[in-house]
Amino acid sequence: MLKAIIFDFDGVILDTETTEFMSWQDVFRKHDVALNLDIWADCVGRPNGYFDPYAHLESLVGGIVDRESIRKMRRLRNAELNLALQAFPGVGDYLMTARQHGLGIAIASSSEHSWVEN
C-alpha cells in the first residue's frame, strides 16, 4: 500500500538548473567571456568537482579571479532568480491530492539541506 510520495527538489519541483546556469553566465559576462551551454550541460547531474567554473573562468580570462567576491555575488544573483521561480505545473495538484488521500510527503535532494529548506 502506498504510504508516501517523495519528490526530488531540483528539476522536479523547481527548475533551479537554469537559474544556476544564468547566474554563472552573469559572472562570465562581467569578465567579458562566455560560459558555453554545452560545457554546462555536460556537468549537470555529475558529482561535485567534475567541473570547476572558477578554474574555467580563469582559463578564459588568462588570470586569477577573486573567487570569494564572485561566490558572494553569484549566490545573491542565483537567490534572486530562484525567488522568481514557480513550481512546475501539476506539482501543487499532486501535493494536494496526496494530502487528501492521507499520504505522507517528502522532498529528496542531493543538494544541501539548507538550500532545500529556503
The catalytic site residues sit at 8, 10
Separation of alpha carbons 53 and 66, rounded Å: 13
Asked whether the beta carbons of 60 and 31 are under 8 A apart, the reply is: yes
Closest CA to 17 of 82, 77, 74: 82
Closest CA to 116 of 8, 22, 26, 3: 8
Q: Which three cell numbers stand for residue 4?
A: 508516501
Q: What secondary structure letter does DSSP report for 89?
A: T
